[in-house]
Structure 1
């Protein structure tokens, strides 16, 4: 899927940014959202490819690592969504329809994990779907 491990790691790091942006859309990342993200990484993302990071760990764990790091930064999620958007525009060939579907599914699952999707999270997911449709 990826022609280099660098792009593979960047791909997962940008997914971490995107999923953080979705969780942070309502200005609050809740423990249940983090738990749902971890569950999705283990159940779905580890199977996507065979890439490993420099520590010989599945690159999909970069999603969690970046998400956790961003939580400590306490910044608005919008700028991270924009960073994901730029990565997507620079590497559209890395995003198969199946991958786009899994990305949206993961984002929706995170958003609905705490008392259903709120308006801010729904808007973030709408922006994501709009990005993928163009």
Structure 2
């Protein structure tokens, strides 16, 4: 696998961690949040680039794969935002203004999907906006 493809896969895997952290901000991932994530991936993320994983599948599906894996592990969100933040700081060149806007839009869509944003979700989205600004 080429280095750029590896970084591309890591990019999407870290987005999966971030979006899981947003969904878990209130300590529970709801089915409507998972549904909203899948809709966002299919509607927006598949067209971002041409990266594929080792199975020749669009790398954007790594968002869902990591999100599902974390959900099945039943782990809380501690540390996943930080892992995304670390990746962001290591590879700032991967985050164009358009991608930053899409990341925020997706995070807000997940947060709004169940009874609007609560305080925990608002806090994590605020931290995300500060990071990406």
After superposition, the CA RMSD in angstroms is 1.1
Per the alignment, residue 55 of structure 2 pairs with 55
Per the alignment, residue 112 of structure 1 pairs with 112
Distance 2:76 2:6 in 1: 26
Q: Which runs of 4+ in 1 moved over 6 A?
A: none
Aligned length: 132
TM-score in terms of structure 2 length: 0.97
How much does 1:78 deviate?
Answer: 2.9
After TM superposition, list the pairs within 5 Å mapping 1:1-134 onto structure 2: 4-133=4-133
TM-score in terms of structure 1 length: 0.96
Deviations 1:37-75 (A, max 9, x none): 000000000000011000000000000000000001222
How much does 1:119 deviate?
Answer: 0.4
Distance 1:99 1:59 in 2: 15
How much does 1:76 deviate?
Answer: 2.0
| Structure 2, unaligned runs of 5 or more | none
